[in-house]
Structure 1
Amino acid sequence: MKKIFAVGGLLAVTVLAATQVNAQSRLRPQTNKPDTTKPAGTAPATNTPNNNGRGLVPNPAVTPTTTQNPNASGAATIRYDTSSNNGFGGKPEVSLRNNYAIDRSQVRDRKPLEYDNMRDDDVVWSEFIWREIDAREKANQSFLYAGKDDNGDLRFFSVLLNAIKNDSVTAFSAENDRFTTPLSMEKIMNQSEGVVDTVTVVDPISGTEEKVITKRPKFSPDSVYTFRLKEQIMFDKESSRLVTRIIGIAPVAKQQIGNTGKTMSVLLFWLYYPDLRRTFAKTDVYNPKNFSSRMTWEELFESRFFTSYIIKSSANNPGDKYLNAMIKDPLFRLLEGENIKTRIFNYEQDLWQY
């Protein structure tokens, strides 16, 4: 029995000594070891309160190399502001804090809905229509809104330019509307104010050509307020409805004709509308009544929230001429465009019995 108590007492003393050693090691200060994972010369990241005391800002000694949108997910993107330098170049001022009282980070991730599949055999009637949108009209004032956000300038012409620069949308020559000749970005940006050029002017009545010395239009968002649409109207017998699909969009600029003081409309380039839908789905349209109910440009065009007038139709037009080549009076041209709208409306209504 004495041997058993002696062994038990020795074990108790050993356990007590080990506990004291561990306690002393926890109280002993730890030495700082150098971090070998950081490169030499890197300033330590310190968090200091900002001016308003509501957040933390990084160490000013560390200079970022790219501009990151805090509301966007993924890699940093560089956006261009088309309101500076005659509408080209420059970078928008990206908000370093959330510019809204709510989280709108999901806006940059929006994608357009795919079109319904339409078979060629189901289209029993089709017609091509060319329209022009005049942004000076009251219903189209959102096309000239000069505000800015993280996407840059919100004027519609600037949205088109940003789609070419940042979203790899291809611009096509204005020689025809069938998207046959791609244009480089340098060729688009070379157009500026004060450059004298010689162009061929075709008389719409007689068809004669004349060389005229002109001045190229100022290529800025404020000088372009007219936009041409090419669209196809179809009746789908599978769904029994009239479908309108936009094919292309072209900005139209005013060009001076010599020293006469007169101007002529000049197409700058054509853009394929299905290529633009991804950009339009991420860009909001200005709403003067309610900021919370703003729609995107893609929703505006698909819902037809704009006013326009018809300048050409493929029906009863074997010469492929615009209305201004067949009708001289501008008032009668507008009336003829309304007659085309009425004819299409009556075609759809006559397909049904009531």
Structure 2
Amino acid sequence: MLRKIVLFCIVLGLSFTLFAQRIVVNPEPTREANVLHAKRIWRVIDLREKKNVTAKWPRNPISNVLYNAALSGKLRPYRNDSLNKWYDLEEFVAIGADTFFVKKLIDPNDEDFYTIDTVVDHFKPDEKINLLLLMEDVYFDSKTSREYSQITAIAPLYNKTVSNIDLGLLPLCWFKYYDRKNLESDCRQIFVNSLMYNSGNPYHKFSYMDWFEQRLFTSVIIKESNPYDLFIMDDPEVKRNGINALIKAANVNEQKGNREEDYYER
């Protein structure tokens, strides 16, 4: 019995070692001439939804993985989805901090005499980040007769508060998920060895890269590339109506499937 336990521990240790040595394999490049159709899509992942809640696993939540990678310099925190300008470390640390003004009485018996203290609440990614915004390129490759979706960037979303005023949801920053030119580290190189909870089989090692590449998350499309650079909610046909926006997003998904069927029939 003792021999079996020792053998099991050795195998388990080897599996952890092998997992920690995983490397990222880039997808095969696609010739531009083979691309029959291409669109850029933005979608939101709600980490509080049942299928996505494993990404908030307390032992290693994805929000901490991304935030700590930026703090350590492993990932560049970009200012927008153009991915051409980034924050330095000091700027990044200050982004998510909430600022409050607190009135402090000088004379407890006279409310007219007081000072205003500024209180800075430092950013706590595991508490503040419940949504992820993905940017991906969707294209049809005539050589393989398949439609592909390649995530290119990720932005954690949080509620920004300044002077007790809620400014709503804002991107903390943008991270490159896939750097085609291999000029810098991207999220895949962080995610590939970053464990997450595997609800299907807790004994099988599972990474955040597996989760994204196998598309095991649920999401809602909020924008597709268009001449006016409008989000679905800002589309004149939607009229900022939530139900209309969901219907429009569903139509975008349906059009993707229809296009793929059309190409197969040609």
Query: Please, what TM-score do these two structures have when normalized by structure 1?
Result: 0.60
User: Is residue 246 of structure 1 aligned with residue 155 of structure 2?
Assistant: no
Residue 320 of structure 1 aligns with which residue? 229
Q: Please name the residue that 2:83 is paired with.
A: 179
- Structure 1 residue 117 and structure 2 residue 29: aligned? yes
Partner of 1:305: 216
State the partner residue of 1:85.
none
Aligned partner of 2:69 among 144, 163, 175: 163
**In 2, Cα distance between the equivalents of 1:338 and 1:283?**
32
Q: Please state whether the residue corresponding to 2:13 is helix, strand or coil.
A: coil
Conserved 8 A contact 1:253-1:267:
yes
Query: Does structure 2 retain, via aligned residues, the 8 Å contact 1:257–1:263?
Result: yes
Q: Is the 8 A contact 1:134 1:140 kept in 2?
A: yes
SS of the aligned residue for 2:206 comes to: coil
Select which of 283, 287, 307 maps to 2:194.
283
For residues 3-152 of structure 1, what are the structure 2 equivalents within 5 Å?
101-103=12-14, 104-147=16-59
SS of 1:292's partner is coil
For residue 170 of structure 2, give the secondary structure of its aligned residue in structure 1. Answer: strand
Contact kept? 1:112, 1:298, Cα under 8 Å: no
Is 1:296 matched up with 2:207? yes
Q: Which protein shows a greater Rg?
A: 1
CA distance in 2, matches of 1:228, 1:310: 10
Equivalent residues, number = 229
- Percentage identity across aligned positions? 24
The alignment yields a C-alpha RMSD, in angstroms, of 2.5
Look up the equivalent residue of 2:94 and give its one-letter code: N
Structure 2: 5+ residue stretches without partners: 1-8, 102-119, 179-185
Q: Is the 8 A contact 1:167 1:279 kept in 2?
A: no
Match in the other structure for 2:142: 237
Within a 5 Å distance, the mapping from 1:255-274 to structure 2 comes to 255-256=160-161, 264-274=168-178
Is contact 1:248-1:270 (8 Å) kept?
A: yes
Query: How far did 1:311 drift?
Result: 0.4
Higher strand share: 2
Paired with 1:342 and 1:184, the residues of 2 have a C-alpha distance of 41
Q: Does 1:188 align with 2:92?
A: yes
Partner residue, 1:82: none
CA–CA separation in structure 1 for the residues paired with 2:68 and 2:56:
15
Per-residue displacement from partner, 1:36-93 (whole Å, max 9, x unpaired)?
xxxxxxxxxxxxxxxxxxxxxxxxxxxxxxxxxxxxxxxxxxxxxxxxxxxxxxxxxx
In structure 1, what residue type is equivalent to 2:214? S
CA shift in 2, pair 1:295/1:256, >3 Å: same
99-108 vs 284-293, which moves further: 99-108
Distance 2:167 2:205 in 1: 35
Letter in 2 for 1:324: M
Match of 2:127 in 1: 222
Structure 1 unaligned segments of length 5 or more: list them.
Answer: 1-97, 148-153, 198-214
**Contact preservation (8 Å) 1:217, 1:253:** no
TM-fit CA distance, 1:263: 5.3
Q: Check 1:99–1:160 CA distance in 2 against 1; reply closer, same or farther (3 A cut).
A: farther
Quote the offset at 1:219 in angstroms: 3.9
